[in-house]
Structure 1
Amino acid sequence: MNAGPVFNPLLSLLELAQRARAAGSVNELAFLAVNDSRALAPYRQSALWFGVGGIHTLSGVVAVESNAPYVQWLTQLCRALAEQHGSATPVNVDPAQLPTTVTAAWDEWLPQYVAWVPLRSVRGATASVDASSSAGLLLAGDSALGAEQLALLAEWMDIWQHAWRTSPETARWSAADLPQALRNWWRVPLRSTRWRRRAVVAAAVLGILLFPVHLSVLAPGELVAANPATIRAPLDGVIAEFAVRPNQTVTAGQSLFSFDQAPVASKLDVAREALATAQAEYRQAAQLVLNDPRAKAQLAGLLGRVAEKQAQAAFLEGQAQRSRVQAPQAGIALFDDPSEWIGRPVQTGERIMQIAAPNDVEIEAWVPIGDAIPLPDKAPLHLYLSAAPMTPLSGTLRYMGHRATARPDGTYAYRVRAKIDGATAQRIGLKGTAKLVGDRVPLVYWMLRRPLASIRQFLAL
């Protein structure tokens, strides 16, 4: 009887080594480390971490979201493991030896058992690990790894690191090469002419970089009504019909839309009948008082009931009047397709439309959080409409929101309103790109503002 196939970890190690040497990029090598190391040791989750750059790759994930709570917590855990174990051999992690700030959320993110495989002398496109820095591979599973499995992982990661260092993508220039490059440049024999040329070029480059320019950002913008009259639902009900069309010019007092009259009319009829009944009962009791003085005690209660029914009837008459909405001022009716509103139940206070004066137009823009720059009072703004890109509209800043607001697409941005300089024939609702102009800054800051912000966020992890 033939025995089944026997698992040979050395063959698995050789196969992984062959695949590492054949990898065409550092991303492929990282994927191999976090996903295919299962051939040597069982685990459920894996992460490749660099001391400079944080979590580089996660098992089963195509792209790593650095702002996700799981990734941020995992970065803290790997940093704590690197500080505790340094460049030692692979070990099974004891949570009791880690800070409580890290272990507090352990059960939420990881299984019970975790192994840590330190990496040494790894250099990548976004990370450089040497004697003064660190990196590692974290493996989490349902059981602790044995000594043989840890030894196989140590050998496998040595092979993997060699493939990583020899990858073409890791041979690019980095900041670590700058001192040597400067020393080589200094040792070149100097001649007076060459030195003067270099000094002139350096001065010219420095002058260009320090040249003052206006700091500006681009943001999506559109033309909106400056002071519109907002028409809201005066009562809970169903809209029956519209008397105007979208973008139609209306006059003050003109009928705009009306609610379904059946519910209000039926309630009003019931209230009027109840009022008539209460009045009849009061008159009957008033006649009885002439013959029976004891009936006088009922008059106060009946009179109060009549007043109650009168108030109900008056309220419903007001509801019936408010169910036919009229324009409070002259202007243009701004709302969506009427067919989307007819038959739709609305609640009291829900916005139905706006009435805007034709020439009462201003610019509205939404500045993303990453592009928010200091804007002085009455800062200039230019709107390049998609319908007329060659004739921008100029305006001055009226205000910029102090708090970011959620947009329909899920992003957050600051609302900006600007008054248009002069009159415009462009209609409300046209969209385009707004350019906001701030104070003057050196050209080098204008060029490096976004990269510096990204680096600042990167170093804050």
Structure 2
Amino acid sequence: MDRQNNAVANPFATLVDMAHRARHVESAVELDFLAVNGTHALAPYRQAALWFEDRHVCALSGVVQIEANAPYAQWIGRLCGELRQAGPVSAFDVPEPFAQEWGEWLPAYGLWLPLPVPGETGEELRGGLLLARDIPWMDHEVALLSEWADILRHAIAARRRPVRWTPTAIRTRIRQRIAADKAAGLPWWRRRAVQASLALVAVLCVPVRLTVLAPGELVPANPAAIRSPLEGVIARFDVKPNDFVKKGQPLFEFDEAELQSRAAVAAQALATAEAEYRQALQQALTDGKSKAQLATLQGKIEERRAETDYLQGQAARARVTAPRDGIALFDDPSEWVGRPVMTGERIMRVAEPRDVEVEAWLAVGDAIPLEPGAPVSLYLASGPLDAVDARVRYVGYEAVARPDGSYAYRVRATLDAPSGQRVGLKGTAKLSGGRVPVAYWILRRPLATVRQALGW
């Protein structure tokens, strides 16, 4: 009660207190609530509405949450959009449709307090606080509330800093600049909008290299593939991954137990065939029928001898040696030992340490024209500051499936100079094609997506 009496006796102290509260609100919602409900401390009224051009009716006195489709909210929003002049307003000051419905929604005497604020794009937006009551507004009340409206406008504007670099803000500034140049009567070639457009077109026509990024790694250029010479089980490895090997050095061995067993059986079969042949040869001296079987037994001996020679050769190939000097490239030996392999299955590679090149996988969506000799830069994950420079040797004709399920073209590139990096290092390869305008460089992927989606 004392506080209300103090507000009536000293309205300026109340205004100072309200200004303090407006500066220290924690949110825009709290400030809206203060505008429609707290203003009652300065002058009594029955209804209040806060409206802005972009937010429409954002607060009503005595209402916690506004129903946007409610008839009252719709009508008060249209009315505020028609109000322009600050000061008292009544049914006689508004257009006819609003004048007829004024008595249904509002008391007889209203007061419009404009609150222009900056929008998100920097332009000024209309807004205001509408107060209504049953008795006329006094001059000292209008002056006090006008000062309060100025304080509110400043507080609301402080919370609505424009976003200066959004597409909407840029378009708005361009329209404002065009309107200002037209108002100044400048020739078209001196207008900033025209100059900026010409400069933008010139920049978009500047030729740049068309580049794409692709996963890449250092791989052997001409490795010797070591494949299984026979069908069997690997018994052990004589080298470790990335070991340097000499020509003729043993690499790995197969389990010879089965081979030796089969070779022994074949040798015994050969001996049996030879014994049968000698027996038939002796009987042929007295028996003409046995003489006719000699050719058949002779062929059987040759068959057993060929089988024996083959199995003995297989046993000799059970120990695989290096065909040349280089580094042995293969997976963990424990993954191979005891595992059956088929004839021709690749087990390892032997590559020279300096004979390396770049291998990159160009995604189907990034497949730009790459001629032989096009520059390639490989940025390794282990050394991103030093790029490995190379030149395209060939690009795969057909896209192949990758382990992740995607399809990509294989690209091989020869190094420009020897590199001290080892085989197997991975990174990101930058593939450079021909020169194209900046506009094409920017719009290549969006245009491709649109054409694939729309089919034109």
Normalization by structure 1: what TM-score?
Answer: 0.59
Does the alignment pair 1:301 with 2:262? no
Deviation digits for residues 372-423 of structure 1, max 9, x if unmatched? 1011221011100111111101011000011101011111000000000111
Does the alignment pair 1:336 with 2:331? yes
Q: Residue 336 of structure 1: CA displacement?
A: 0.2
Q: Residue 315 of structure 1: CA displacement?
A: 0.9
Q: Distance in 2 between matches of 1:232 and 1:315?
A: 19
2:248 is aligned, of 224, 248, 253, to: 253
Q: Residue 190 of structure 1: CA displacement?
A: 5.3
Q: Distance in 2 between matches of 1:355 and 1:371?
A: 33
Structure 2 unaligned runs (5+)? 1-68, 70-165
Moved more, 216-225 or 194-203: 194-203
Does the alignment pair 1:384 with 2:383? no
Letter in 1 for 2:437: P
Does the alignment pair 1:350 with 2:345? yes
CA, structure 1 residues 185+308, in 2 after alignment: closer, same or farther (shift >3 Å)? farther
Q: Residue 193 of structure 1: CA displacement?
A: 6.7
Does the alignment pair 1:191 with 2:185? yes
Q: Secondary structure at the match of 1:239?
A: strand
1:290 is aligned, of 285, 289, 292, to: 285
2:231 corresponds to: 236
Q: Distance in 1 between matches of 2:202 and 2:287?
A: 110
Q: Secondary structure at the match of 2:242?
A: coil
Letter in 2 for 1:192: L
Q: Distance in 2 between matches of 1:270 and 1:377?
A: 58
Show the 5 A alignment for 1:104-143.
none
Q: Distance in 2 between matches of 1:303 and 1:347?
A: 34
Q: Distance in 2 between matches of 1:450 and 1:191?
A: 41
Superposed CA RMSD in Å reads 2.9
Q: Secondary structure at the match of 1:290?
A: coil
2:20 corresponds to: none
Q: Distance in 2 between matches of 1:276 and 1:186?
A: 111
Moved over 3 A (4+): 184-190
Q: Distance in 1 between matches of 2:345 and 2:255?
A: 16
How many residues in Structure 1 have an aligned counterpart in Structure 2? 291
2:364 corresponds to: 369
1:428 corresponds to: 423
1:415 is aligned, of 410, 416, 419, to: 410
Letter in 1 for 2:186: S
1:118 corresponds to: none
1:319 is aligned, of 314, 328, 336, to: 314
Q: Residue 293 of structure 1: CA displacement?
A: 3.2
Q: Distance in 1 between matches of 2:406 and 2:314?
A: 40
Deviation digits for residues 15-58 of structure 1, max 9, x if unmatched? xxxxxx9xxxxxxxxxxxxxxxxxxxxxxxxxxxxxxxxxxxxx
Q: Residue 371 of structure 1: CA displacement?
A: 0.5
CA, structure 1 residues 328+408, in 2 after alignment: closer, same or farther (shift >3 Å)? same
Does the alignment pair 1:310 with 2:325? no
2:202 corresponds to: 207
CA, structure 1 residues 231+185, in 2 after alignment: closer, same or farther (shift >3 Å)? farther
Normalization by structure 2: what TM-score?
Answer: 0.60
Moved more, 195-204 or 446-455: 195-204
2:36 corresponds to: none
Q: Secondary structure at the match of 2:218?
A: strand
Q: Residue 292 of structure 1: CA displacement?
A: 2.5
CA, structure 1 residues 460+186, in 2 after alignment: closer, same or farther (shift >3 Å)? farther
Q: Residue 194 of structure 1: CA displacement?
A: 7.8
Q: Distance in 1 between matches of 2:331 and 2:193?
A: 65
Letter in 1 for 2:185: R
Moved more, 345-354 or 199-208: 199-208
Letter in 1 for 2:384: P
Q: Secondary structure at the match of 2:386?
A: coil
Does the alignment pair 1:275 with 2:302? no
